[in-house]
Structure 1
Amino acid sequence: MKIFWFIPTHGDSRYLGSSRGARVNDFAYFKQIAIAADSLGYEGVLLPTGRSCEDSWVVAASLIDATRHLKFLVALRPGLVAPTQSARMAATLDRLSGGRLLVNLVTGGDAEELAGDGQFLDHKARYEQSAEFIRIWRDVLTRSHTGEALDYDGEHLSVKGGKVLYPPINRPHPPVFFGGSSGPAHDLAAEQVDTYLTWGEAPADVARKLSDVRERAAARGRQLQYGIRLHVIVRETEDEAWRAAAELVSELDEATVAAAQARFAGMDSVGQRRMAELHRGRFNKANIREGLEISPNLWAGVGLVRGGAGTALVGSPPQVADRIKEYAELGLEHFILSGYPHLDEAHRFAELVFPLLPLSVREKLAAPSLTGPFGEVVANSYAPKTVSAS
Structure 2
Amino acid sequence: MKIFWFIPTHGDSRYLGTSKGARQVDHAYMKQIAVSADRLGYEGVLIPTGRSCEDPWIVAASLIDATTRLKFLVALRPGVTTPALAARMAATFDRLSGGRVLLNLVTGGDEQELKGDGIYEDHATRYETAKEYVHIWREILTRSHTGEGLTFHGQRLSVDDAKLLYPPIQKPYPPLWFGGSSEVATDLAADQVDTYLTWGEPPAAVKEKLAVVREKAKARGRTLNYGIRLHVIVRETNAEAWAAANDLISYLDDETIQAAQKKFAQMDSVGQQRMAALHGGNKDRLEISPNLWAGIGLVRGGAGTALVGDAETVAARIKEYADLGIDTFIFSGYPHLEESIRFAELVFPLLPLKVQQKLTQPSLTGPFGEIIAHNYTPSEKNKAQQVAT
- The answer to whether the superposition gives a TM-score over 0.5 is yes
Task: Please show how residues 23-38 of structure 1 align to structure 2 within 5 Å.
Answer: 23-38=23-38
Structure 1 equivalent of residue 384 of structure 2: none
> Map of 1:162-241 to 2, 5 A cutoff?
162-241=162-241
**Given residue 350 of structure 2, which amino acid in structure 1 is its aligned partner?**
L
**Aligned AA for 2:103?**
V
Output the CA distance in 2 between the equivalents of 1:37 and 1:382: 30
**Matched residue, 2:387:** none
What is the letter of the counterpart of residue 323 of structure 2?
A: E
Offset from partner CA, 1:102-158 (integer Å, 9 cap, x none): 111111100000000000111001011111111111110000000000011111110
CA deviations 1:201-247 (Å, max 9, x no partner) are 00010000000000110111000000000000000111100100011
> 2-side partners of 1:364 and 1:183: how far apart?
38
Q: CA contact under 8 A between 1:40 and 1:366: conserved in structure 2?
A: no
DSSP 3-state at the match of 1:221? coil
Moved runs in structure 1, 4+ residues, more than 3 A?
A: 365-372
Match of 1:319 in 2: 313
Q: Distance in 1 between matches of 2:288 and 2:362?
A: 37
Aligned to 2:79: 79
Deviations 1:26-54 (A, max 9, x none): 10000000000000000000001000000
Aligned to 1:112: 112
Whether 1:304 aligns to 2:298 is yes
Match of 1:375 among 342, 352, 369: 369
- Output the CA distance in 1 between the equivalents of 2:359 and 2:260: 37
Give the equivalent residue in structure 1 for 2:255: 255
Q: 2:336 aligns with which of 337, 342, 358?
A: 342
Residue 369 to residue 354, structure 1, CA distance change in 2 (3 Å) = farther
Residue 291 in structure 1 maps to residue 299 in structure 2: no
* SS of equivalent to 1:90: helix
Amino acid at match of 2:349: P
CA contact 2:203–2:321 (8 Å) conserved in 1: yes
Instruction: Name the CA shift for 1:193/1:360 in 2 (closer, same or farther; >3 Å).
Output: same
CA contact (8 A) 1:199 1:228 kept: yes
Q: Please name the residue that 2:19 is paired with.
A: 19
1:133 aligns with 2:127: no
**Separation (CA, whole Å) in 2 of partners of 1:353 and 1:369:** 24
Which residue number in structure 1 is paired with residue 385 of structure 2? none
Amino acid at match of 2:134: I
| CA apart distance, 1:366 | 4.7
The correspondence of residues 88-167 of structure 1 with structure 2, limited to 5 A, is 88-167=88-167
* Contact residue 36 and residue 337 of structure 2 kept, 8 A: yes
Q: Which amino acid in 1 is paired with 2:228?
A: I
CA distance in 2, matches of 1:177, 1:35: 23
Q: Tell me, which stretches of 5 or more residues in structure 2 are unaligned?
A: 382-389
CA distance in 1, matches of 2:151, 2:342: 50
CA RMSD across the alignment: 1.1
Q: Does 1:362 align with 2:333?
A: no
Check the 8 A contact 2:41/2:358 in 1, yes or no: yes
Distance 2:374 2:329 in 1: 40
Letter in 2 for 1:296: P
CA-CA distance at 1:386 after TM superposition: 6.4
Give the deviation of 1:370 after TM superposition.
3.5
The yes-or-no answer on 1:46 pairing with 2:46 is yes
Where structure 1 has 5 or more consecutive residues not aligned to the other structure, the ranges are: 284-289
Deviations 1:248-299 (A, max 9, x none): 001100000000000000000000000000000102xxxxxx4110100000
Q: Deviations over 1:6-34 (max 9, x none)?
A: 00000000000111111111100000000
Cα distance in 1 for partners of 2:196, 2:59 equals 24
Please give the secondary structure, in 1, of the residue aligned with 2:156: coil
8 Å contact kept, 1:282–1:291: yes
SS of 1:156 mapped into structure 2: coil
CA gap of 1:304–1:342, structure 2 versus 1, over 3 A, is same
Cα separation, partners in 2 of 1:132 and 1:371, compared to 1, 3 Å: farther
Structure 1 Cα separation of the partners of residues 23 and 77 of structure 2: 26
The DSSP-based 3-state class of the residue aligned with 1:205 is helix
